[in-house]
Amino acid sequence: MSIEAQSRRGFLAGAASAAALTAFGTGGVSAVSAFATPSKRLVGPENLIPYGAAVRSDALAADPSYRDAVIANCQMVVPESELKWLELRPTRDEYRFAKADAIIDFARQNGIEVRGHTLAWYGALPPWTEEIATRTDAERELTDHIETVVSRYKGVIPSWDVINEPLVDWAESAASLRPSIWARRLGPDYLRIALETAAAVDPDAQLVINEYDVEFAGPRFAARRKALVELLRSLRDRGVPLHAVGLQAHLFADRTIDRDGLQALLAEIKALKLDVWVTELDVIDYELPGKIGERDALVAGVASRFLDAVCEVVRPKAILTWGLSDRYTWVPIYFKRRDGMPNRPLPLDAELKRKPLFDVIEEFRHKV
Ligand code: XIL
């Protein structure tokens, strides 16, 4: 079945409950009950891997053609920033849910599922979190946050990146945790605290540890794979609730995918009875040739090598890209091209036309 046909089905499924939900966009906290009705399974047919993308609330509101493209192509969305601490917690005493709610409202009206990103990360923290001075204070802030956010979206967000990017770039072991206010004040216990709190609030939620730079060839990446497995095993051995690993898959086109290394990692994850999600796929093309046809083909090739390695070992629960269209991508913030041409990391170009990367993802959605 084509993606259009599927999302029309999704749209119809969602439309039935849309009327009950439209009030949400104008409501405040009191309107949260609009979320309470669990949605039907909204993603595509069981035999296809759901496809999704990170989305931006401002662009959904301002850009109807982008909004339509999300509706036409995505069975799942994840707010790109709107559920991060920086957006939700501008001050210590305040929660601002309006932007996240706008995305959820949009998704539910259109029969699209939502993932949550992210609860415990070193990045996108508001400055006031630096004032968290003691272990007790840190534990209270982290648990309050997770309890508040996860309970608000219980039954609405079935899958959470509870932990994002736990390891340092040059990880030697599970102990090589990236410094953050959580790691500094709570040590490795912050992982357990975050996961247990999320599980206590929403026992049905799928709890994910999301990590990057685990697919490439080279000693740094091999060491990260080993450290990640060690970390996952230590959590499992201690009975800490955890259900899946997210492979971010920010694929640097100038690096080589280590097929064997990646597959060995996936086999270990499978042996630990954890699911796999592809959570943030895009292809970082800043070192690729400028010619667009050539570049798009190379980008598609990188993603194909990655997905082929993954899908031979596991069936990912979903494949999400970090953005849908080159019109809205984080890549140029860090990886601008020297020739001044725009980056082209995503499945749709800046005019919302499908690129070869789109077809690659579509192919692997069908494969398993
Ligand atoms: C990025 C967003 O795309 C940017 O808009 C934001 O300014 C910074 O964060 N890995 C992650 C994502 O887990 O949260 C990051 O998102 C991209 C890298």
HSE-up (13 A, CA, CB side) for residue 60 = 24
Angle made by CA atoms 261, 264, 266, in degrees to the nearest 5: 110
- Total-model pTM: 0.90
Please tell me the distance between residue 54's alpha carbon and the centre of ligand 1 in angstroms. 10
Q: How far is the CA of 330 from the centre of ligand 1 (A)?
A: 7
Residue 365, pLDDT score: 97
Q: How far is the CA of 123 from the centre of ligand 1 (A)?
A: 8
If one residue of 56, 77, 80, 333 were mutated to test the ligand 1 pocket, choosing by the most ligand atoms within 8 A of its CB, it would be: 80
- Distance (Å, rounded) from C-alpha 98 to C-alpha 58? 11
Say yes or no: CB of residue 143 within 6 Å of ligand 1.
Answer: no
DSSP label of 279? E
Distance separating alpha carbons of residues 228 and 209, to the nearest angstrom: 10
Q: Please report, as a single letter, which amino acid is at residue 222.
A: A
pLDDT in single tens digits along all 368 residues of the chain: 333 333 333 333 333 333 333 333 333 333 343 454 444 444 455 689 999 999 999 999 999 999 999 999 999 999 999 999 999 999 999 999 999 999 999 999 999 999 999 999 999 999 999 999 999 999 999 999 999 999 999 999 999 999 999 999 999 999 999 999 999 999 999 999 999 999 999 999 999 999 999 999 999 999 999 999 999 999 999 999 999 999 999 999 999 999 999 999 999 999 999 999 999 999 999 999 999 999 999 999 999 999 999 999 999 999 999 999 999 999 999 999 999 999 999 999 999 999 999 999 999 999 76
Say how many Å lie between the CA of residue 81 and the centre of ligand 1.
Answer: 7
- Does residue 321's CB lie within 6 angstroms of at least one atom of ligand 1? no
Query: In this predicted structure, what is the pLDDT of residue 38?
Result: 40
165 burial class (0-12, 13-18, 19+ CB within 10 angstroms)?
buried
Neighbours of 122 (CB within 10 A): 17
Backbone angles phi, psi at 10, to 5 degrees: -60, -40
Give yes or no for residue 164 CB within 6 A of ligand 1: yes
As a whole number of angstroms, the distance between CA 29 and CA 152 comes to 9
Rounded Cα distance, 180 and 266, in Å = 27
Q: What is the pLDDT of residue 44?
A: 53
Looking from the CA of residue 84, the nearest atom of ligand 1 is 14
- DSSP for residue 324: S
Under 8 Å between Cβ of 261 and 222: yes
> Is the distance from the beta carbon of residue 85 to the nearest atom of ligand 1 less than 6 Å?
no
Q: Specify the pLDDT at position 367.
A: 79
Cα 129 to middle of ligand 1, angstroms: 19
Q: What kind and span of H or E run contains 272?
A: none
Ligand 1 contacts CB of residue 280 (under 6 A): yes
Q: Can you list the positions of beta strands (E) in the chain?
A: 51-55, 76-79, 113-120, 159-164, 206-211, 244-247, 250-252, 275-284, 319-321
**Cα separation, 234 vs 326, whole angstroms:** 39
3-state secondary structure of 64: helix
Whether 330 is in the pocket of ligand 1, judged by its Cβ within 6 Å, is yes
Are 202 and 246 a contacting pair, CB within 8 Å?
no
Retrieve residue 275's tokens: 């699911």
Cα–Cα distance between 308 and 306 in angstroms, integer?
A: 5
CA distances from 356 to 98, 302, 304, 305, 362 (A): 35, 11, 10, 14, 10
In this structure, the residue with its CA closest to atom 4 of ligand 1 is: 330
Joined together, the tokens standing for residue 98 give: 């309006």
Pocket test for ligand 1, best of 210, 322, 328 (most atoms within 8 A of CB): 322
Ligand 1: which of 55, 56, 81, 208 to mutate, most ligand atoms within 8 Å of CB?
81
Residues 6+ positions from 136 with CB-CB distance below 8 Å: none
Q: Is the CB of 161 under 6 A from ligand 1?
A: no
User: What is the total residue count of the chain?
Assistant: 368
Report residue 324: phi and psi, to 5°: -105, -40
DSSP structural state of residue 32: G
Helix axes 3-21, 98-109, angle to 10 degrees: 120
Handedness of CA 179, 181, 187, 189 (dihedral sign): negative
Burial of 265 (0-12, 13-18, 19+ CB in 10 A): buried
The answer to whether the Cα torsion of 85, 90, 94, 100 is positive or negative is negative
